[in-house]
Structure 1
């Protein structure tokens, strides 16, 4: 997450989840409460209640096939470049990582049966025996080494290089054992082994396919419950059940999954209603009401780690003053955005990360966070006064957007209205989806842009997956914000394995970020998924980007 890039609008690693795609799809995926039912009376929630579902009804049997909508066609399904919703939701069913990120946001062994941390800078992974790739060859430690080392190879240009920033070496240390040496302690590295950074591919396949790896012609050769069958550019990608899959608990119930690329939100919703497709993630928010009463299937919501943010990408202009950033946030009607832009399903965000990322923190830390978190309630009068004191009246701010979905349009208009209300002179700069995506990858594209939208998700259950993105010099620190105390707190958190110390340092970093507001948090929203009447079994969760969700889908009884 995503981690990421800017998916529809966001990410955490160099490329990750790129906004272009994010945006382009009209993705509405934002995070929600971290437990079963979202509380409509909590904080900035709207009056519309929604239920989070841990698991849809279990399948009664198998299926020959099912069809799934996806809002954009991937450019590649190479795990090194899979940093966004389209490729990851496909690849999570085909390839596997050393560890597994589960739908409840916990981590468990996967292709590694166990791992150990004998020294603060050493991680040792025991590789699972008797696992086969889709071509029938056996998984070995050599494959793991080759797969992880790709992220360290400059010529590859992995989107996940940030996860390997502290890695010194990756080597085989036994017949089925791999050892990773770090330059310094890194509490996030092992967690990342449950996401794309920990993906394992056949070393022989990587060598054979080279730059063609992950393309429509070559596909991939991994160990997951489904294997790559075909990819028709511009139309669809097909996976088939892998009968030789090692994990009996996650053997695919369907013989085939066909992903169809439907970029238009209305077209996707119509396909749900007609039964042309059996389901899809990231349901357009403006169709929630329609699909909640649909006779064609059911709409579900689940755990998420995404926050919709306005990235402050120019600190040389009026938004270079933290007081002006606070004023702008306090002038944005975030409740109104949730109601009008997110279908009333979501909550105003008080942080750049969701509450569920703190689930591993000691209770005392969680209690202190709830008490000390800086908050910026909607208060146009106070916001106007703050901006007046800063002396920025009449100064121009440029807000980038892309005309790809109603949600993005509503957010952009609300932010522009807030800017005008505090005396600024807002200008909306509408970019194509492709050009919008470059805001996340090319500093030159951000020239003269003061604000742009991202839906930023994390790929591990740790606030540091977000906050490392804002350290001085980070590729994802789009506004080049710099705070020495913040950097120190992040370094301490990343370098601390002990839960209480890690949480304390993470909380300090978060406090600084929320007082300085290099990004403006808007709201969170749950993962959304629609299941047609033929299918059931999925676990609604942001983990679908790395967990083999399609394997659990079967016939509805």
Structure 2
């Protein structure tokens, strides 16, 4: 799993460079097959064939009974920077979510609400006007202004910065202060997703003075950041930990921190993290290794929770010039993968076989009846090795080699890779597993040369907004994250139609067209969706389990248990 995101490779195509590093692999680990997990509270996900609940989602853990002096939190990797322009992965984002804030706020229920902008208007299809909140202070005591907002957003347009978030700004023509507390963004063309991205890292606001003063040192261990969130940057001991301090001047009374300090410790080994939970060395952590679900559920050291997520585990088809270039072979391979078996053995039973490349949570603004209709029309690929082999035989690819990249990060990765290789063999291909180091695996998401000779590689891909276009836009012709260079005119047209549409129903209909094509052609092979996992030690409570922890100030709600 990449610890952070390096600067993107700029591409002279019709789309801006998009997200060079993308959630390569979770730090979750699976060593044994687990069965049913009892739930905490919330929505049950029934286990196939039984009335039992494989897992349940918890919207809110019990509220904190009081304040804390401090608590410790585990991270599976150390960030290389906490500059918001390069923070596009789990470790830096879950830190920055508590330090820096965006114009809008992505809430744990995956809705959006005002943040540093108290309101916004959309006077024309190509303009957004934001009213900036008054009385907000940066951690150095200076006051937030519209000029800070302009400077922060413009960084995503600067080729010298080479922001990992250039894609959401691909249609931006200008960003200007248009009043004492007003900022206007003008677009080249309508964009149904632009405003939504301002609830995530693209909408982050930093002090313009700090950006200018720190320059290329901004966000490093010595400088840190100077934002407006409930916690301020304290210290960063490379290789060990990063400390945040409560910011007593925080503007939002509902999210004033209950803890005086948060210490993030870098624990790369999953077993070490689980042991730290058990002993109380750390008080909690996101992304619990699946092999430890049963162990931690029964533990007296704390409580394991599951929450809303937008993640889909998928195999990315990188080489469309080899045997996987034929859609029939891709379809056959997906049918030959025992996805239910992977869920049981690799995800501890806490997951659901994916019916598309996006989680149903991303369709939250679309009526359930519409979403169900879109899903019902999609092709399905139930486990059927015999039928899969016959389909692959039609393409005449028997005996051809496919290279599947893997990395010894965790046993979940190994289980998935072996299952995919077994499926490839079952349909007549000659699979070869190429095990590479973690850093080289990360390079697959940034460097085309690193992907040379690789047919398939695994990703856990989540959306940063509650919109399936965030994922499907990655597969449009020329998109940076379209790693296999898949191109389909019908798909591209549907994405363009959804992007410029202003009516939500029209957006959903066009996105549905794109989804239909993607699931027929399978440029990526969806495996399963899984919930967010979080462990809270017996000292702490208050967090809302949700993928929004990457942008929402979750640590501010953590306090002492009663």
TM bracket (short chain)? over 0.9
Please state how far the C-alpha of 1:41 moved relative to its aligned partner: 4.3
**Which residues of structure 1 form unaligned runs of 5+?**
7-11, 29-34
1:405 to 407, 410, 423: 410
Q: Does 1:146 align with 2:151?
A: yes
1:531 to 520, 532, 536: 536
Query: Partner of 2:45: helix, strand, or coil?
Result: coil
Query: Partner of 2:421: helix, strand, or coil?
Result: helix
Q: 1:5 to 1:46 in 2, by over 3 A?
A: farther
C-alpha separation between the residues in 1 aligned to 2:541 and 2:91? 21
Q: Does 1:445 align with 2:453?
A: no
Please state how far the C-alpha of 1:26 moved relative to its aligned partner: 3.8
Q: Deviations over 1:21-42 (max 9, x none)?
A: x35x3478xxxxxx94232246
2:44 corresponding residue in structure 1: 38
Please state how far the C-alpha of 1:534 moved relative to its aligned partner: 0.2
Q: 1:54 to 1:105 in 2, by over 3 A?
A: same
1:31 corresponding residue in structure 2: none
1:476 corresponding residue in structure 2: 481
2:127 corresponding residue in structure 1: 122
1:416 corresponding residue in structure 2: 421
C-alpha separation between the residues in 1 aligned to 2:51 and 2:286? 23
Please state how far the C-alpha of 1:384 moved relative to its aligned partner: 0.4
2:352 corresponding residue in structure 1: 347
Query: Partner of 1:217: helix, strand, or coil?
Result: coil
- Superposed, 1:121-200 pairs within 5 Å as 121-200=126-205
- Superposed, 1:41-60 pairs within 5 Å as 41=47, 49-60=54-65
Q: Does 1:427 align with 2:432?
A: yes
Please state how far the C-alpha of 1:358 moved relative to its aligned partner: 1.1
Give yes or no for contact 1:402–1:436 (8 Å, CA) kept in 2: yes
Give yes or no for contact 1:397–1:426 (8 Å, CA) kept in 2: yes
Please state how far the C-alpha of 1:364 moved relative to its aligned partner: 4.3
Give yes or no for contact 1:17–1:85 (8 Å, CA) kept in 2: no
Query: Partner of 1:49: helix, strand, or coil?
Result: strand
Q: TM-score, normalised by structure 2?
A: 0.94
Give yes or no for contact 1:46–1:339 (8 Å, CA) kept in 2: no
Give yes or no for contact 2:44–2:53 (8 Å, CA) kept in 1: no
Please state how far the C-alpha of 1:368 moved relative to its aligned partner: 1.4
Q: Does 1:320 align with 2:325?
A: yes
Give yes or no for contact 1:132–1:244 (8 Å, CA) kept in 2: yes
Give yes or no for contact 2:401–2:432 (8 Å, CA) kept in 1: yes
Give yes or no for contact 1:486–1:512 (8 Å, CA) kept in 2: yes
Query: Partner of 2:397: helix, strand, or coil?
Result: coil
Q: Does 1:97 align with 2:70?
A: no
Q: Does 1:389 align with 2:404?
A: no
C-alpha separation between the residues in 2 aligned to 1:39 and 1:59? 27
C-alpha separation between the residues in 2 aligned to 1:468 and 1:263? 32
Please state how far the C-alpha of 1:362 moved relative to its aligned partner: 3.2
Give yes or no for contact 1:16–1:82 (8 Å, CA) kept in 2: no
1:209 to 206, 210, 214: 214
- RMSD across aligned C-alpha pairs, in angstroms? 1.9
C-alpha separation between the residues in 2 aligned to 1:434 and 1:354? 28
2:381 to 376, 383, 396: 376
Give yes or no for contact 2:101–2:228 (8 Å, CA) kept in 1: yes
2:38 corresponding residue in structure 1: none
Please state how far the C-alpha of 1:367 moved relative to its aligned partner: 3.1
C-alpha separation between the residues in 1 aligned to 2:375 and 2:335? 19
2:72 to 37, 50, 67: 67
C-alpha separation between the residues in 2 aligned to 1:359 and 1:126? 26
1:246 corresponding residue in structure 2: 251
C-alpha separation between the residues in 2 aligned to 1:81 and 1:110? 21
2:507 to 502, 515, 519: 502
Equivalent pairs counted in the alignment come to: 542
Q: Does 1:220 align with 2:225?
A: yes
C-alpha separation between the residues in 2 aligned to 1:16 and 1:121? 29
C-alpha separation between the residues in 1 aligned to 2:72 and 2:523? 41
Q: Deviations over 1:103-141 (max 9, x none)?
A: 000000010000010000000000000000000000000
Query: Partner of 1:271: helix, strand, or coil?
Result: helix
Q: Does 1:554 align with 2:552?
A: no
C-alpha separation between the residues in 2 aligned to 1:153 and 1:13? 14
**Which residues of structure 2 form unaligned runs of 5+?**
7-16, 31-40
1:296 corresponding residue in structure 2: 301
C-alpha separation between the residues in 2 aligned to 1:15 and 1:234? 24
C-alpha separation between the residues in 2 aligned to 1:48 and 1:314? 39
Q: 1:14 to 1:106 in 2, by over 3 A?
A: same
C-alpha separation between the residues in 1 aligned to 2:18 and 2:460? 13
Please state how far the C-alpha of 1:47 moved relative to its aligned partner: 6.8
Please state how far the C-alpha of 1:530 moved relative to its aligned partner: 0.2
Q: Does 1:262 align with 2:267?
A: yes
Give yes or no for contact 2:23–2:461 (8 Å, CA) kept in 1: no
Give yes or no for contact 1:362–1:500 (8 Å, CA) kept in 2: no
